[in-house]
Amino acid sequence: MPPPQPCDAAADPSTAPDSKISTTASIQYWNTISPDVNGMLGGFPQISRIDLRGSLNFITKLRRLSSNCQVRNAPKLLRAVDCGAGIGRVTEGFLTHICDVVDVVEPVVKFAQVLEDGALKQEGKIGDVYVTGLQDWTPTKTYDLIWNQWCVGHLTDTQLVAYFKRCGAALSEGGWLVVKENLSTHRFGEDIFDHVDSSVTRSDQKFRDLFREAGLQIVKAELQTGFPKGLGLYPVKMYALRPK
Ligand code: SAH
């Protein structure tokens, strides 16, 4: 569920939307997409700056809320991971500004390659690059921040709950799991399957149910504001989570 998307995609109510997800189809789709910000944002590159600013504001508020000295007062967090990172738009535009080192998880080789070959990797600001899907990834380190943006729609509900549990177990004391995703605007509150990239767009209620199932609590949640009207984009929400 990539980027900002027009919310008029046709929904097929016959089966659970997430049962139609095909990893093969989604990887095939992403391989046809150009490795640039326009590709990452589904043809809406102009929203990148607003998106990154919204994320920074959200983290700033989270850090103020925190009683943990390391995450509240340190100039930077120690280690974050950008999950479903694409070419590293979020890593470059936001995460490396607030973290010493950012690991990256991205299943599409040509996107991961952009990160491997880039200056941030040379400078040591990008750490490990894991070329795999989130459904197959188990964190092997402790992270202050696990960032998931516009990618968890490629996992089924079952895969996502298992993945969230693994993330919860990999957070440092005071760390956050953040999920920043489009929300379904289906009039009966259903998730919406997107045939183009083989992903689902979930409702706010579905996200809350999956978080609860994974043993996570919402520390803070906020809608992204400031995207231009008239593009027909889905609403975008940020959730900061921690194990209960
Ligand atoms: N988060 C980035 C990229 C969004 S585009 C940003 O906000 O700019 C969606 C990304 O999800 C693509 O890079 C795509 O390759 C990746 N993706 C597709 N299937 C995935 C999966 N199963 N696990 C993790 N990432 C996946």
pLDDT tens for 183-195 read: 999 999 999 999 9
Contact 82, 90 (CB under 8 A): yes
- The total of other beta-carbon atoms located within 10 Å of residue 130's CB is 20
Q: Is the CB of 40 under 6 A from ligand 1?
A: yes
CATH of domain 18-243: 3.40.50.150
The whole-number pLDDT of residue 233 equals 96
The whole-number pLDDT of residue 163 equals 98
pLDDT at 1 over 90: no
Q: Is the CB of 30 under 6 A from ligand 1?
A: yes
The whole-number pLDDT of residue 67 equals 82
Residue in the block written with tokens 């080192």: 101
Q: Is the CB of 26 under 6 A from ligand 1?
A: yes
Rounded to whole angstroms, what are the CA distances from 198 to 94, 110, 156, 236?
Answer: 27, 19, 11, 19
> Which of 52, 91, 154, 194 gets mutated to test ligand 1 (max ligand atoms within 8 A of its CB)?
154
* Structure token digits, residue 14: 């016959």
**In sequence order, which residues have a C-beta less than 8 Å from that of residue 99 and are 6 or more positions away?**
76, 77, 78, 79, 80, 144, 145
Widest distance between CA atoms in the chain: 51
The whole-number pLDDT of residue 5 equals 67
pLDDT tens for 43-85 read: 999 999 999 999 999 999 999 998 887 788 888 999 999 999 9
CA of 73 to the centre of ligand 1 (A): 31
DSSP for 101-161, please give it.
Answer: EEEEE-S-HHHHHHHHHSHHHHTTSEEEEE-S-GGG----S-EEEEEEES-GGGS-HHHHH
CA of 208 to the centre of ligand 1 (A): 21
Average pLDDT (189-202) is 97
The whole-number pLDDT of residue 73 equals 82
Average pLDDT (205-222) is 98
Q: Coil, strand or helix: which one is 221? A: strand
Question: Which ligand 1 atom is nearest residue 105's CA?
Answer: 24
Average pLDDT (210-214) is 98
pLDDT tens for 156-180 read: 999 999 999 999 999 999 999 999 9
Res. 10 pLDDT band, cuts 50 70 90: low
Q: Coil, strand or helix: which one is 189? A: coil
For the chain, what is the mean pLDDT?
A: 95
Q: What is the pTM of this model?
A: 0.94
For a pLDDT cut of 70, what percent of the chain falls above it? 95
> Which of 46, 106, 138, 148 gets mutated to test ligand 1 (max ligand atoms within 8 A of its CB)?
106
Dihedral sign of CA atoms 225, 226, 228, 229 in order: positive
Question: Which ligand 1 atom is nearest residue 42's CA?
Answer: 5
